[in-house]
A = this chain, B = another copy of it.
């Protein structure tokens, strides 16, 4: 089922559309289609929608690849992809596999998005397991990236090393970061801290496990939970269980604090007036924390670009997601990731 023939080059990819799952997400199809329309109109990015015509409705002039099925947000991911072969999620992945789209974007069922991408595009050679890379804001700087943010609850040291390699390739391709730094999430700075998984990964990344490892990044050692915002390293590596818990803990605490602040602002006329003065300064900061502005999470390790957007994505989120998908595809993200995980003897 995997890729037929050669991966298209940068020029070919730039001419291909980004395939958008018009039925993915809580606000599909309305906000999804509107976001795709804006990305095409404002940024000149070629876009194709995928979905059942009667459910998608008005495509705002965008091309629509018709299909007959939709995988629901709460549907069993593997089962949904296996059963619904003519679903919008499966079809966007097939467009990338078949060289008819440069990238896929979905705000639908995360597990099903991963499964569709993995089963239809396939893994890159040598990749043990794809992982999810999620941006973490660093005010005024390019975001850091957390890998794995939730694709793999169980990991091995070899997988974590690949997450580091793929994450570094991603920040290089997306943000132009030269010689990215990589940190390992643990519970203390010392290499002796943490689980066996973390300790063995530390040995591999630091080169103390053998002299023949050569990475395209600088390993800066262990980081702790308090280092996630703002992260001193460009890439933070962890297993998908810890990564998902940490990411949601960050999202939850920031939302909690914003909500509590807004409640304080509304206390009385005096606080409302004071808030009016401060909000123009606070809102740009808050915007950097908004998932809708980060372009969503990126699946790394599949043979094609796959952006996994938040289920709550609106039109703004989709504009950013389509933009990130297009930029990463045309900058050769997949080639960079493939090169990063290639075993030394093959290089």
A185 to B195, CA, bound (A): 18
Q: How many residues of A contact B (CB 8 A)?
A: 52
Contact of A271 among B193, B198, B277 (CB under 8 A): B277
Q: A139-B260, A261-B282 are in contact. Are A225 and B245 (CB under 8 A)?
A: yes
Asked if residues B245 and A150 are in contact (CB atoms below 8 Å), the reply is: no
Q: Which residues of B contact A247 (CB under 8 A)?
A: 225
Contact of A242 among B230, B241, B261, B265 (CB under 8 A): B241
A274 within 8 A of B: yes
Q: Chain A contact residues: over half helix, strand or loop, or mixed?
A: helix
Contact of A230 among B256, B271, B273 (CB under 8 A): B256
Q: Which residues of B contact A265 (CB under 8 A)?
A: 278
From 245 to 290 in chain A, residues with beta carbon under 8 angstroms from any chain B beta carbon are 245-257, 260-261, 264-265, 267, 270-271, 273-275, 277-278, 281-282, 285
Asked if residues A264 and B248 are in contact (CB atoms below 8 Å), the reply is: no
A31 shortest CB reach to chain B, Å: 22
A228 to B267, CA, bound (A): 26
Asked if residues A254 and B252 are in contact (CB atoms below 8 Å), the reply is: no
13 A-B pairs with CB atoms under 8 Å apart are A139-B260, A154-B195, A187-B248, A194-B241, A198-B241, A225-B246, A229-B249, A229-B256, A238-B245, A246-B249, A250-B253, A271-B278, A278-B278
A-B pairs with lowest CB-CB distance, top 7: A225-B248, A226-B252, A225-B249, A274-B274, A274-B277, A187-B244, A226-B248
Q: Which residues of A line the B interface, CB within 8 A? A: 139, 150, 153-154, 185-187, 193-196, 198, 224-230, 238, 240-242, 244-257, 260-261, 264-265, 267, 270-271, 273-275, 277-278, 281-282, 285
